[in-house]
Structure 1
Amino acid sequence: MPRLLLFNGPPACGKSTLAQHYVDDHPLALNLDVDRVRSLIGRWRDDPHAAGLLARQVALAAARAHLASGHDVVVPQFLARMTFIEQLERLAREVNASFHEFVLLDSKENALRRFAERARAAVDPAHVEAREMVERGGGFDDLSVMYDRLMTVIAARPAARIVRIEEGEVDLAYRAVLRGLG
């Protein structure tokens, strides 16, 4: 049975790193980074909200096709609202895939610090875009609010597995994910 894995968590907590680690270990698994899909939409910065919604619809279609072919899909995405999580979970049921929701989590202070450090040194286009989005959206105060919204989502999703993140311990977090898959 194919798996649909969601790696949720604040920016700079290792979602993309763990997603890549998973697909490197699982042949034909798809690392479906919605932010990268969004970056493929022409002039997405003119209306990032609309582009984000379009990117999620494209991601759902891609996940459907990939899961239906019998292969795993990993979605590394910060989600502080329930809609896309519920859409992913429903998709998994529709295509007879298992759904695994992980939240990569550290303290708010550590998450904000790591994001600031990554933003200052950003070279990767995805990290540059993340910095720009935060700057446009209200800066680090907005990140703090986002973190708090994530805590509300976690409280409403009791089946989500919390993976505590320790800086520099990617393998430890990855092993926790694998244990969570059973």
Structure 2
Amino acid sequence: MATLLHLNGPSGVGKSTLARAHAANRPGTLVCDIDDLRSWVSGWEDDFVGTGAAVRTSALALITAYLATGRDVVLPQLIVTPSECARFEAAAADAGAAYVGVVLDVAPGDLLERLHGRTVTPVSAVVSRIIEERGGDELVLRGRRELLDLAPQQGWTVVDTTDRAAALARLAGLVG
């Protein structure tokens, strides 16, 4: 059975990095990075949130169609609204696939170090600007806490990313 592995977590925790590494170990796995898709839309830098909402609808269609081929999808995407997560769970179900929700975590100090030390790309630069405009490090740490509180309610597994190899092994074990 195909699986949609949703890697949720705060900015800087390593969602995209682990998604690519997980997919590399499982040939045929689609990495559906909505932040990358967002950058395909003209003007996305000035309407990051609005573009993201529009692109998520396209991503849902892509994910559903790809899962229906019997292949896995990994989705590295911060989503804190349960109803929005439910849309991705429903997409997996519509394709006859499993949904595995994961919250990636790391100690607060490590999270901020990773966030501030990540490679600057057009997408990460816009994300960093938005984070600063909305509260900086405190916003990121508050979001981390909210996700950790939400995880048990949603049935999401929390995976510590301190050790990348251990985190990848844990992810592999979750999808079978």
TM-score, length of structure 1 as denominator length = 0.88
Amino acid at match of 1:132: R
Task: Give the corresponding residue for 2:168.
Answer: 174
SS in 2 for 1:153: helix
Alpha carbons 1:81, 1:153 under 8 Å: kept: no
- Name the CA distance, whole Å, in 2 between partners of 1:98 and 1:110: 31
Q: What's the offset of the Cα at 1:140?
A: 1.9
CA distance in structure 2 between the partners assigned to 1:105 and 1:34 by the alignment? 20
Over the aligned positions, Cα root-mean-square deviation in angstroms equals 1.7
Deviations 1:42-72 (A, max 9, x none): 1023322211101211110110111112211
SS at match of 1:45: coil
What is the aligned partner in structure 2 of residue 5 from structure 1? Answer: 5
For the 8 Å contact 2:3–2:100, the answer to whether it is kept is yes
3-state DSSP class of the match of 1:5?
strand
Find the counterpart in structure 2 of residue 148 from structure 1. 145
Q: Secondary structure at the match of 2:75?
A: strand
Shift of 1:80: 1.9
Q: Partner residue of 1:164?
A: 160
Structure 1 residue 46 corresponds to structure 2 residue 46: yes
Question: Share of identical aligned residues, percent?
Answer: 30
Between the two proteins, the alignment pairs up a number of residues equal to 176
Unpaired runs of at least 5, structure 2:
none
TM alignment of 1:6-21, pairs within 5 A: 6-21=6-21
d(CA) in 2 for partners of 1:108, 1:61: 35
Q: Using the alignment, how far apart are the partners of 1:155 and 1:100 within structure 2?
A: 13
The residue correspondences of 1:72-151 to structure 2 (distance < 5 A) are 72-118=72-118, 122-151=119-148
Match of 1:31 in 2: 31
Q: Which runs of 4+ in 1 moved over 4 A?
A: none
